Amino acid sequence: MNIGICGIGGRMGNAILRISTERGHKLGAAFDADGSPLLNKNAKELVNNPLAECTISAINADDLQKVDGIIDFSAPAASIKLIRILSELKKPVVIGTTGFSDADVAEIRACSEKIPVILSPNMSLGVNLLFKLTEIASMALTTDYDVEIFEAHHRFKKDAPSGTAKRLLEIVKENMKGLSGAADVNGREGITGERTANEIGMHAMRGGNIIGEHTVFYTGLNDRIELTHRAASRDVFAEGAVSAMEFLNKKNPGYYTMYDVLGFK
């Protein structure tokens, strides 16, 4: 495929460039933020592969016309600008950006009526399996089990809780009877009183170079179930993102998920 990457100067952009070219895809367009020192440079400088021969620029329609689809790990404002252009050009997009508002997500969903879209807070195939296992566990258990969600990331991450942790929270609320209206408790401090059955704890750790760790705890009075995923390398996210782009190639417009990529019904 002729793939574009938005946010190519970031850690994920670099990993996606390397993984996609290793898998034989050509870099058809490369975008980075306004003011980036990479603008007007050749992306080949970032990875030693002739398939990465492409000038890095700000988001523009001319370059987007050249690609079969684009993988976006940038910032919410850039992602919205990008998808508005792509919806006119009828090009598919895989979005791994986090921190969207409800209005942003609604606009992305609306664009999926015109183009194939995958929006996921975490592209790792393993994390998406964690999503499925959390769905199964939440349907099977009752509020006799207290649910707490923990996530850990590197010191440079700007948002908390992570988009993945928020999605885990949504899955629990959607599938565990009696918790659809549960309060989200982001950490605890002071005299909080006894824990209620109608709350879900959310806990974020930041430090060092932690790639990403997520655990859903189901804690009863007599046992505890823990569902955990730990990323050892950013390559797991890049591999998942490229797999998602390969999946969207030549698909009809629609709002697809990583479950579709994994083949879940």
Contact partners, residue 118, CB within 8 Å, separation at least 6: 93, 94, 95, 244, 247, 248, 256, 257, 258, 260, 261
Amino acid code (one letter) for 60: N
Choosing from 44, 91, 153, 229, the catalytic residue is 153
Give the CATH number of domain 2-119+234-262: 3.40.50.720
Q: What is the pLDDT at residue 190?
A: 95
Q: Which CATH class is domain 125-231?
A: alpha beta
10-residue mean pLDDT series, the chain (265 residues): 97 95 97 95 95 97 97 97 98 94 97 97 92 97 98 94 94 97 95 96 97 97 98 93 97 96 87
From CA 94, how far away is CA 27, in angstroms rounded? 15
Q: What is the pLDDT at residue 124?
A: 94
Is the CB of residue 146 less than 8 Å from the CB of residue 195?
yes
The domain limits of the chain are: 2-119+234-262, 125-231
Choosing from 114, 132, 157, 173, the catalytic residue is 157
Q: Catalytic residue at 158?
A: no
53-63 per-residue burial string, b: 16 or more CB within 10 A, e: under 16: ebebbebeeeb
From CA 59, how far away is CA 55, in angstroms rounded? 12
Q: Catalytic residue at 153?
A: yes
Residue 239's CB is within 10 A of a number of other CB atoms, namely 20
Q: Which helix (H) or strand (E) element contains residue 69?
A: strand 69-72
Q: What is the pLDDT at residue 199?
A: 98
Q: What is the pLDDT at residue 122?
A: 84
User: What is the sign, positive or negative, of the torsion defined by CA atoms of 83, 86, 90, 94?
Assistant: negative
Residue 120, token pair as written in the block: 């996921």
